[in-house]
Structure 1
């Protein structure tokens, strides 16, 4: 199937009675780009043309070259944006040299265009005119409606899309014609036609656009016609055509299935659809991260990766938007994590900033909602549903939930310090009603608490939260550093709790050994100036092992496996005896094994490390 396009935009007019335009050439170029240069193109680039403010001879010469000098196409599309009008029942396209008082000599009539096309042997013609009074061209159709030609062998079919009624002007917004903008949105996949056929025809596209204009109450009435359609009427490829009859990428993303990225996503459709249907808890978000990471590795370039992450990410975030919990923030962090290795790319940086802005929106919403609910019900953070262990589970999960909240609110401070007052109000309520739950329970708390205390210290606000650090450190020493292992199965949490409160030692299979949570608290204790106080009771942790991973660089910090870095395990009473000793050893190893310059990190780099650690809590954001 051969398809050619001639796209004409006329901004400049020599006639004093025709005002120059500013967006017609842009419209014609945009149509050319989406029909010829996009991934959905069916038009041959070497046989398609873009004309800027041409004279009539240029247009006729181009039509002759396209339709007669080359192999005759099956489909020919002519797009025009500019001035147009009806004279003596004939519709004319106004070109650069057109004079309104000599329209029949200086304008290009549709009758002339039909005559040229009819003698070429082309099978189907698409005509799109974004100009005023275009519905007046209906009179020119009479030259085609002849009984001896209707349906005759070799006659061509024609589809026409006109921007406005015969007595209407064609409007524009931001330098783009309303008709052109709507058409481009449909054929590029930004808007969806409710059809999964492989190709779109101009008449149906016109109906969709016309209905949209009516619903929006616009003072413009696009219209479309089709005639003599004995064969297929094809205008463009349908971005939403899917080779899979069960699940389309549009079911779980904003990505058209016929696109390059859509074709990649079809390989992950079952996993993504399952997660979209029920994301579940935090583990669901981690599964989401693994799926989009794998899909991202399958695309060809960073631009396609950004398209994938935005198309899938925004759809998931929108799905769970009504919920006031961690889901939106976790999803944003998962998407941001996949972008970390690509932040040297401009498009990836822009997308990352957009997701940071989205994090700010949902972070403030969560903060406001949490404050409001705590002020109305001081037990708001406690799970009150169920019986038995469903209630007892608060002893395990409530400290983790509190750590997540302070962690996310510290991440929010990296984006907007202006929320400090609200975060302080939240912390005051925590001190008042939840001080007994400022406990170390699980290794999962490590990245959240490290970010919280690290951000406050970096912002010079450490004194505001030093009392909270003391509470966590006191509890850690009190339980002799016995914290639950990362990803401890739910069925073992009760066993861990019982042993934590009734035995001197927790079974090795339930606890983290060595742990990173204690390592973080030791570092923060030294930074906050309470290290010497901790040293007085540090003997309680004698022979306890602490673990930290030092990343080689930030670019790999988002990966599932960080290839370059150093795993450090230090034993209290053997490798160090004070908090300062511990901090000095960590600093020495960081300088030796990491390329990261902590003194020059940007807020985006700090934010990215926090995002990765929150969705992958097997690492601590030491950069904060």
Structure 2
């Protein structure tokens, strides 16, 4: 495709008052759109003109539009003073005189005449100028019988950032209209997510809404002879509607892409909710069709935590999050049913692919994850008053099947197991499934002691997993020290959970074998920020076994009491639980204290 861009910004005038941001707007639009991964407009056919004279503009337009190249897409952008004359709309250049506007300013009709002659497949005209909506007279150039109605007649989309009788406002760093346009181009504003490229008509709908909200300015959109989709720019928020999108799914990357969209209108909770529902809706639909029974839960949880930072700011978002928790609980319950059915039909249902060495590392984590999501459903239900609906007997059956068929895989492999097991073990205790909890916790802790707590870090490089497993086999960790979790939070989970299953004395005896292992508990100050990649507000609480800590009661005495304080807003507490499931390098310690019957930790 051959694409050309002409961007003009005029700050400096010889006979008219100067402007402050027009050149900046033209420069940013030009620089963004010529990027191959944004607009892919070809620099050889494109021009950036800053405060040009009328002659310079006419020469540039003639060279580009009438240069003998047939363009698939031609975009013309202007930021500067605009004026309406009896014969049409004019753009003021550096040497324009207001008393001779028709002779010294650039006419929109003149541009349209050249477009009609060159007939690009699609032309986009964007005017961020005062009174730019007054272009009705100029449109007649493109609506004459000899230039319209035929195959190949000029297709033109026009976006004027102000109405015929309105001025175009500026922020300190750019025009109001152009700022909204750039938000759409760069992905800070959501246009749509189901197509790989955006046309100006799509973008204009969002620009109009955002500009109208900003004050007394009403953009005008017109389209002539448009008979096919064009490609104004790439869509930075495109998500393919296919199962391959789920195979490539990476929650952190997706949240990083979504965050600027949400931050651009953080003050508007209804828009925030609508954006998240649009961005995640089709992926959730595809996930529900996949064979991975927990994929739909993972997608819904990621959608919920996208808005977690706003839950304590907007009551509407807090209520929306609570409704998502209720929906998510139902999905997890259905996934639990399917998991039990799969186990009963095939005892090796948890093994992935061809099996082999990969399962030695992945299977223990997978088992922890299944238990963690199920335990999370209990905790989420408790937050919204639905704990009585939790399928206790089904959870018990799942545990019995895991212990029966996978006892040797109840092993401590990675620190990523910490949040899953914290949620599962505290749920088991609250449900009075102590025998089942002991059957799970005992082999996990034994495995932890046997490897002397040298479990893999959550950030272990995939290429180093095999080397780590060999180190476990040979008890030689010298070459994989950087891949070992030092300190780790999995040990903290085990020691806090031991009193829940009357295992304190047994674990106390084994702690001498862990000297001088350092365990840790990162405690966040604000759980509404629990889904951020880096949580700045919080503290690490390291405990070295053999240094003040020899028994579990000593750990409890030194453990920060505020770690067990549940957020007062149940939507924030629920969101933090979901964040720990999606990003298992953090543990919501409050689940140990959030259960009224766990009096053992009250001292």
Range into which the TM-score falls when normalised by the shorter chain: 0.5 to 0.7
Q: Does 1:290 align with 2:269?
A: no
Shift in alpha-carbon separation, 1:268–1:454, aligned structure 2, 3 A: farther
Q: Does 1:368 align with 2:345?
A: no
**Per-residue deviation, 1:452:** 0.9
Q: Deviations over 1:159-203 (max 9, x none)?
A: xxxxxxxxxxxxxxxxxxxxxxxxxxxxxxxxxxxxx9899xxxx
- Secondary structure of 2:481's aligned partner: coil
Query: Does the CA-based 8 Å contact 2:461-2:483 persist in structure 1?
Result: no
**Per-residue deviation, 1:518:** 1.1
- Secondary structure of 2:543's aligned partner: strand
Tell me how far apart the structure 2 counterparts of residues 560 and 267 of structure 1 sit (CA, whole Å): 30
Aligned match of 1:550: 523
Shift in alpha-carbon separation, 1:277–1:251, aligned structure 2, 3 A: farther
Query: Does the CA-based 8 Å contact 2:332-2:374 persist in structure 1?
Result: yes
Q: Does 1:393 align with 2:336?
A: no
**Per-residue deviation, 1:346:** 2.7
Aligned match of 1:622: 589
Query: Does the CA-based 8 Å contact 1:252-1:316 persist in structure 2?
Result: no
Matches within 5 A, 1:232-251: 249-251=192-194
Shift in alpha-carbon separation, 1:535–1:342, aligned structure 2, 3 A: same
Structure label with greater radius of gyration: 1
- Secondary structure of 1:521's aligned partner: helix
**Per-residue deviation, 1:446:** 0.9
**Per-residue deviation, 1:275:** 9.4
Aligned match of 1:356: 325
Tell me how far apart the structure 2 counterparts of residues 444 and 499 of structure 1 sit (CA, whole Å): 19
**Per-residue deviation, 1:327:** 2.2
Aligned match of 1:188: none
**Per-residue deviation, 1:612:** 0.9
Matches within 5 A, 1:37-116: none
Tell me how far apart the structure 2 counterparts of residues 282 and 534 of structure 1 sit (CA, whole Å): 41
Aligned match for 2:305, one of 334, 337, 347 = 337
Aligned match of 1:531: 504
Shift in alpha-carbon separation, 1:392–1:298, aligned structure 2, 3 A: same
- Secondary structure of 1:513's aligned partner: coil
- Secondary structure of 1:568's aligned partner: strand
Aligned match of 1:565: 538
Shift in alpha-carbon separation, 1:351–1:503, aligned structure 2, 3 A: same
Tell me how far apart the structure 2 counterparts of residues 262 and 327 of structure 1 sit (CA, whole Å): 35
Unaligned runs of 5+ in 1: 1-122, 124-195, 200-241
Shift in alpha-carbon separation, 1:248–1:609, aligned structure 2, 3 A: closer
Q: Does 1:410 align with 2:379?
A: no
**Per-residue deviation, 1:267:** 9.9
**Per-residue deviation, 1:575:** 3.4
Superposed CA RMSD: 3.9
Aligned match of 1:74: none
**Per-residue deviation, 1:273:** 2.7
Tell me how far apart the structure 1 counterparts of residues 210 and 240 of structure 2 sit (CA, whole Å): 18
TM-score using structure 2 length? 0.57
Q: Does 1:328 align with 2:296?
A: yes
Q: Deviations over 1:461-514 (max 9, x none)?
A: 444412211121111111111111113122211111111011254631221111
- Secondary structure of 2:590's aligned partner: coil
Shift in alpha-carbon separation, 1:268–1:479, aligned structure 2, 3 A: farther
Tell me how far apart the structure 2 counterparts of residues 590 and 563 of structure 1 sit (CA, whole Å): 20
Matches within 5 A, 1:437-452: 437-452=409-424
Q: Deviations over 1:118-140 (max 9, x none)?
A: xxxxx9xxxxxxxxxxxxxxxxx
Query: Does the CA-based 8 Å contact 1:324-1:369 persist in structure 2?
Result: no
Tell me how far apart the structure 2 counterparts of residues 605 and 460 of structure 1 sit (CA, whole Å): 26
Matches within 5 A, 1:447-466: 447-466=419-438
Aligned match for 1:509, one of 482, 498, 522 = 482
Query: Does the CA-based 8 Å contact 1:383-1:394 persist in structure 2?
Result: yes
Q: Does 1:578 align with 2:570?
A: no
- Secondary structure of 1:570's aligned partner: strand
